[in-house]
Amino acid sequence: MNERARAEEHLRIIRILMERATVYRAISAPTALAGGCLALLFAIFIQMREHRWAAHAPEVMRHISARQFAALWLAALVLVIIVNTFFVWREAKRDNRPLTSPAMKLALRAILPCLALPAAVTVWFFYDGYEFDNELLLVGVWIGFYGLALIATQHFAPRSLVVLGWAFLLSAVLMTIASRQLEYYATPLVPNVAMGFTFGLYHLIYAACVWRSAPAALGPE
């Protein structure tokens, strides 16, 4: 395929994505709801466990290790990916389209570069970074680059998804600016609260706004 044909194909796919933006926004709402609920549940679980053990062994500074903290949140990520895949598959099946359509491949090409650094930082954290209580750094990278991944879809995604991305990115920026003040409380209180606040509360607000503004976007079952 020559460059002209490739460019025309990309434009055609982008037009398809833009035409289906309302549908994709409706699909993202249940995923955001599930992800937000899971994030809040995980944040509450970690917080309650820390407080419970602090009452029994106050001499120990932390009771969930850095690796356990990261592993719990990665488990939440896996669950959300499974939920999102189900909703995308259901919508593709309804429209008689393949799951791995050209539109999905284009979206993945926009998103995946934004996930390379978070993946590398996560590997580093499990290998070496956990020894220095770097949860705040890890969480800041996760939040910021998740926001960048959403913003990267701005040419074909619904505007509400891009706004959500900016909320995540600006939260990471504020965390970086206030990192010195947050470091005193960083293990593991602030990183856990940050994850619950962004991945939990932001997603729930997004889901509520999408369902309220476009209740008919899901279409008939």
Answer whether residue 221 is part of any domain: no
Asked whether residue 8 is domain-assigned, the answer is no
Position 218 in a domain: no
Task: Look at residue 13 and tell me if it is in a domain.
Answer: no
Is 14 contained in some domain? no
Tens of pLDDT along the chain (221 residues) come to 566 556 555 555 555 555 455 545 556 788 899 999 999 999 999 888 877 655 555 544 556 788 999 999 999 999 999 988 888 788 777 777 776 766 677 778 889 999 999 999 999 999 988 877 788 899 999 999 999 999 998 877 778 889 999 999 999 999 999 887 777 665 668 899 999 999 999 999 999 988 776 544 444 33
Q: What is the pTM of this model?
A: 0.81
Radius of gyration of the chain from Cα atoms? 19
* Burial class of residue 63 in the structure, from the number of CB atoms within 10 Å of its CB (0-12 exposed, 13-18 middle, 19+ buried): middle
If one counts the domains in the chain, the total is 1
Largest CA distance in the chain: 68
Q: What is the pLDDT of residue 218?
A: 42
CA nearest 168: which of 136, 194, 131? 194
Q: How far apart are the first and last CA of the chain?
A: 39
Residue 1 in any domain: the answer is no
- Look at residue 194 and tell me if it is in a domain: yes
In angstroms, how far is CA 154 from the centroid of its own chain? 16
Examine residue 68 and state whether it is found in any structural domain, yes or no: yes
Provide the residue range defining the domain that includes 135.
23-99+107-213
pLDDT given at position 39: 95
> Which residues have C-beta within 8 Å of that of residue 80, sequence separation ≥ 6?
31, 34, 35, 38
